Structure 1
Amino acid sequence: MAKNIVLTEELKKHFGFDTFKGNQEAIISSLLAGNDTFVLMPTGGGKSLCYQLPSLLMEGTAIVISPLIALMKNQVDAMRNFSEDDNVAHFLNSSLNKTAIDQVKSDIISGKTKLLYVAPESLTKEENIEFLKTVPISFYAVDEAHCISEWGHDFRPEYRRIRPIINEISRRPVIALTATATPKVQHDIQKNLGMQDAAVFKSSFNRTNLYYEVRPKTANVDRDIIKFIKANPGKSGIIYCLSRKKVEELAEILKVNNIKALPYHAGMDGATRSANQDAFLLEEVDVIVATIAFGMGIDKPDVRFVIHYDIPKSLEGYYQETGRAGRDGGEGQCIAFYINKDLLKMEKFMQGKPLAEQEIGKQLLIETASYAESSICRRKSLLHYFGEEYNEDNCGNCDNCLNPKKQVEAK
């Protein structure tokens, strides 16, 4: 029991929280005991703390492998806010010049840096491998671990190189974290990271405060969205579109209709993108229209609606994106507009990709279509997809449960 008291004291001392959320304490204890640890925790559950706190309590520097530069920057800023010492956390990626890199290395050597965020591409650089071989490492954290799996919604081939590199640098415990993973993806992650014997912690995927609805996508979709936003004045929302062109167009249409909205996609220059993201976080605008590039690591707890202008390429992607609504436990409305034609368009985009990738992509689209077209409880469908049973007859918070006649009328 004494150990638990110490952990809660450390939590209070470093982060100002009185109690842990969900499995956090058990996960941290597992890592401190030197175990490989697999964490499946839906968005908003407090994954980052599971490696941030142990990094402060263990000897050496923790290496956090993370896919996005913007995400690293947010995390490092957050850590520096909690600590009196700015050297406590650093990142190493392509955005740094030589002087900045030398500063990071000297802080690590002197033992001041407890957390080092690296992009997988930076981890594979020979000079970084050679440098990391010379410093004491406490553990490795692989964030967004679903990127390792071809079945995951955001596959990145460079994630497959993580394990061999860890073996080359120095073997230490590994913690893999993801907010979305089907049983198949979980197996893939553990196999690829060589952590089949890991302690596994899974939290429920059921977000009871989120309302799910699928609407037919008609020629009036823009008008439907404007009507919905006008009926929810002053509320924060995200609208996801598949193409950058549509993002720009829709943001303009909303502005013309006196809705405070801004676009966000990877094709914009970095400064504009950051400014638009900040305007949303600071509530200078109500709505951000974005491609899926937006949202990783965005911590805005009071997003009240997430609209999908186009149905996503996979149910995992859909779950992750809708999960950005209602992170404070308040209402979150998740509305997706669906027409089968969109899926056919996505299938066309896949032509020219390797056959195995096309097959997986098609399978994911079939699953998305069956979710969109189904008349059973949306919550039941989603949870079942993630290998979780949901035994209620009526969730009371999705279109199919609230209006069983809807499906009949739509036919």
Structure 2
Amino acid sequence: MSDVRREEGGDTMSSAEQQLPGAGLAGTSVPDADPLLQVLDKVFGFRSFRPGQEGIIRALCNGRDAFVLMPTGGGKSLCYQLPALVREGTAIVVSPLIALMKDQVDSLRQLGVAAACYHSALGAAESRQLLARLHAGELDLLYVAPERLLSEGFLARLSDIDVALIAIDEAHCISQWGHDFRPEYLQLPVLREHFPGVPLAALTATADPQTRRDIVERLGLQQAHTHIASFDRPNIRYTVLEKARPFEQLQRFLARHRGESGIVYALSRKRTEEIAGKLAASGLRAAPYHAGLPDALRHSTQEAFLRDDLDIVVATVAFGMGIDKPNVRFVVHYDLPKNLESYYQETGRAGRDGLTSEALLLFGYGDIALVRSLIEQSENPEQVRIELHKLNAMVAYAEERGCRRRTLLGYFGESLEEDCGNCDTCLDPPETWDATEDARKALSCVYRVGQRFGVGYVVEVLRGADNERVRRNNHQTLSTWGIGADKSSDHWSSLLRQLIQRGYLHQDIGNYSVLKLTERARPLLRGEESLELPVPRLRVRAVKKPKKSRGPIGDYDQTLFERLRTRRKQIADAQGIPPYMVFSDATLAEMAAVVPQTAQELLQINGVGLTKLERFGADFLEELGQGGEA
């Protein structure tokens, strides 16, 4: 059984504390309980396991392999962190990003756990010191990138120490079917040869059935303890709006989230900078983040966001994978993601603490063409085929007129018995309209202009634009010129995009995106069929906020909650750590609901362990002693 070592000053715990997970854990709130529950309580501050965690943890503690598919915020990390504290030796955790390693290690150190990460950014002196601690048996967990782990020198070092277990995080990176395939992960199966008796855990938050099979086969996990958790994140409200003046749509959405943390994803670096600049100019605390920015600037932006000094990060997909910040209240996709795996993982960065959060997608048919062109630039035809298949599934989700959560979960092989009641189509079912006449006008106009122009020009002719281009083409003489003047440009643009998506029109991307009629358009033009379409949704449905806020355990006092957040920020700033590493929003919400008045009562709150009680308990008890009065 492993010691649980304190990080401060490198001191070890007292001999009584080193008896984990046996008896002698005075001060825990679960005396005489199961030994694993005592570790869970004493170190992590939780009274019980989340669904699925206990079976995984017991399997690893007993030396079995494990395959874990658990959504973001579902408690995946604990599944290997707790066994690392129980088994003899040091647990090796494979992770693809330095930011992800650092965040995990910093959080563990706040719990008093001896953890470290070994990566290319460490200096020579730091590396030597870390390796000395590893050989001395002073580390419970060591996080390392796959390429560094698999170097001959490092594997030789590991052969000289006790390896408690090997955890491969973000395991979907090993599969070409995974949305974030990384070639360096392909070599990880050799770990079986080097450490045949060490339990191996593969963990991921996002994998469709094909990706799961690939992970199991490549890592030899056919006999592993397998846990496939529900993909459902019921605290996240999913909304899709048709993209029309997207920055204005974003502003309206953000107006309901003043002072809250959120991420806005965009496809291009240029767009992230444009959006962030406009938001900052409007008085919001926003900044861009993408791989083209200087390292120092990206680091400072990430740190400011983690410490709640920055509310909004506008980013490409380069941001967020290494972020465990639990109080992200919203995620906006300004542009269409390439696949549902990316969408699910990125929206999953909201509401990791279980509190109410929102995910907004602005869906434009022009985005489909852009993403498709990016995919088709690949020289690997098999990869193109896979990615186009995934893009089609993403578009189908965005066009869904039924419960969005059912469609999202169905993609991952999970069925929902009834509508979720917490997505835009459930809260505000889409209306439909008879689009037959307008569709005929639009299709006729495409035909009359010779099937040689794109959406924008066709809309100009429909609305009777009198400009040089129209006159140069003599299109002001067409029968379709001006027949749509009674409708807005947005109306006709939306209609044309839907006609493209439903196969009445083909948009020739390789020829300046000109519109051409398809065979399917003929019966509609001849009056042989009609067309019903959903009314475009351009605004988020307003949802009244209750007087009392709702947390994981019930209603809580919002005024007291905000005071606790303020105190938490003061403590975090004084210690130079992100506020969530003091306590999560969910823990503060439970405090605001229960209002504990003694140390023992505070210890009953989920997320309050002995180490954090010792470090922060007095400050929060002082605030709680004042009750809910401002």
The interval holding the TM-score normalised by the smaller chain is over 0.9
Greater mean deviation of Cα atoms: 9-18 or 113-122? 9-18
1:67 aligned residue (78, 96, 104)? 96
Query: How many Å apart are 1:13 and its aligned residue?
Result: 2.4
Quickly say closer, same or farther: Cα 1:281–1:97, change in 2 above 3 A: closer
1:26-65 aligned at under 5 Å gives the runs 26-65=55-94
1:134 and 1:216 mapped to 2: Cα distance?
Answer: 58
Q: Which residue of 2 aligns with 1:128?
A: 154
Query: How many Å apart are 1:266 and its aligned residue?
Result: 2.1
Aligned AA (1:372) = A
Query: How many Å apart are 1:64 and its aligned residue?
Result: 0.5
Query: How many Å apart are 1:69 and its aligned residue?
Result: 0.5
Query: How many Å apart are 1:169 and its aligned residue?
Result: 4.8
Is 2:65–2:201's contact at 8 Å kept on the other side of the alignment? Answer: yes
Q: Which residue of 1 aligns with 2:583?
A: none
Q: Which residue of 2 aligns with 1:326?
A: 351
Per-residue CA distance 1:297-344 (angstroms, 9 max, x = gap): 423322222110111111011011111222222221111011122122
Q: Which residue of 2 aligns with 1:354?
A: 380
1:387 and 1:39 mapped to 2: Cα distance?
Answer: 15
Number of residue equivalences: 405
Greater Rg by CA: 2
Query: How many Å apart are 1:280 and its aligned residue?
Result: 1.9
Quickly say closer, same or farther: Cα 1:226–1:185, change in 2 above 3 A: same
Matched, 1:299 2:324: yes
Query: How many Å apart are 1:377 and its aligned residue?
Result: 0.9
Quickly say closer, same or farther: Cα 1:23–1:74, change in 2 above 3 A: same
1:236 and 1:108 mapped to 2: Cα distance?
Answer: 37
Query: How many Å apart are 1:43 and its aligned residue?
Result: 0.7
Q: Which residue of 1 aligns with 2:416?
A: 390
TM-score, normalising length: structure 2: 0.62
User: Per chain length, whose mean CA-contact separation is higher, i.e. which structure has more relative contact order (CA < 8 Å, sep 6+)?
Assistant: 1
Matched, 1:409 2:435: no
Query: How many Å apart are 1:4 and its aligned residue?
Result: 6.6
Is 1:133–1:170's contact at 8 Å kept on the other side of the alignment? Answer: no
1:300 and 1:15 mapped to 2: Cα distance?
Answer: 17
Greater mean deviation of Cα atoms: 103-112 or 35-44? 103-112
Matched, 1:338 2:363: yes
1:150-161 aligned at under 5 Å gives the runs 150-161=176-187
TM-score, normalising length: structure 1: 0.94
Q: Which residue of 2 aligns with 1:373?
A: 399
Q: Which residue of 2 aligns with 1:89?
A: 115
Per-residue CA distance 1:76-104 (angstroms, 9 max, x = gap): 112222226xxx22222211233222222
Per-residue CA distance 1:24-54 (angstroms, 9 max, x = gap): 2221101011111011111111111111111
Give the 3-state SS of the residue equivalent to 2:293 in structure 1.
coil
Unmatched tracts of structure 2, length 5 or more? 1-21, 23-31, 433-533, 538-630
Q: Which residue of 1 aligns with 2:306?
A: 281
Aligned AA (2:176) = E
1:93 and 1:280 mapped to 2: Cα distance?
Answer: 23
1:196-345 aligned at under 5 Å gives the runs 196-218=222-244, 220-345=245-370
1:42 and 1:325 mapped to 2: Cα distance?
Answer: 12
Query: How many Å apart are 1:246 and its aligned residue?
Result: 1.0
1:94 and 1:246 mapped to 2: Cα distance?
Answer: 31
Query: How many Å apart are 1:224 and its aligned residue?
Result: 1.1
Q: Which residue of 2 aligns with 1:168?
A: 194
Matched, 1:191 2:213: no
Give the 3-state SS of the residue equivalent to 1:53 in structure 2.
helix
Is 1:129–1:169's contact at 8 Å kept on the other side of the alignment? Answer: no
Is 2:43–2:111's contact at 8 Å kept on the other side of the alignment? Answer: yes
Query: How many Å apart are 1:142 and its aligned residue?
Result: 0.4
1:367 and 1:50 mapped to 2: Cα distance?
Answer: 31
Aligned AA (1:47) = K
Give the 3-state SS of the residue equivalent to 1:251 in structure 2.
helix
Matched, 1:115 2:141: yes
Give the 3-state SS of the residue equivalent to 1:141 in structure 2.
strand
Query: How many Å apart are 1:137 and its aligned residue?
Result: 1.0
Per-residue CA distance 1:194-230 (angstroms, 9 max, x = gap): 1111111122111112111111112x11111112112
Matched, 1:102 2:128: yes
1:114 and 1:328 mapped to 2: Cα distance?
Answer: 25
Query: How many Å apart are 1:68 and its aligned residue?
Result: 0.4
Aligned AA (2:397) = Y
Aligned AA (2:96) = P
Matched, 1:21 2:47: no
Query: How many Å apart are 1:234 and its aligned residue?
Result: 2.0
Query: How many Å apart are 1:235 and its aligned residue?
Result: 2.3
Quickly say closer, same or farther: Cα 1:316–1:4, change in 2 above 3 A: farther
Aligned AA (1:410) = P
Aligned AA (1:307) = V
Quickly say closer, same or farther: Cα 1:382–1:217, change in 2 above 3 A: same
Quickly say closer, same or farther: Cα 1:352–1:10, change in 2 above 3 A: closer
- Root-mean-square deviation (CA, aligned residues, Å) is 1.8
Indicate the percent of aligned positions where both proteins have the same amino acid.
47
Quickly say closer, same or farther: Cα 1:98–1:302, change in 2 above 3 A: closer
Query: How many Å apart are 1:287 and its aligned residue?
Result: 1.3
1:15 and 1:306 mapped to 2: Cα distance?
Answer: 28
Query: How many Å apart are 1:181 and its aligned residue?
Result: 1.2
2:78 and 2:205 mapped to 1: Cα distance?
Answer: 14
1:95 and 1:300 mapped to 2: Cα distance?
Answer: 22
Aligned AA (2:357) = G
1:209 and 1:151 mapped to 2: Cα distance?
Answer: 28
2:328 and 2:121 mapped to 1: Cα distance?
Answer: 30
Is 1:251–1:262's contact at 8 Å kept on the other side of the alignment? Answer: yes
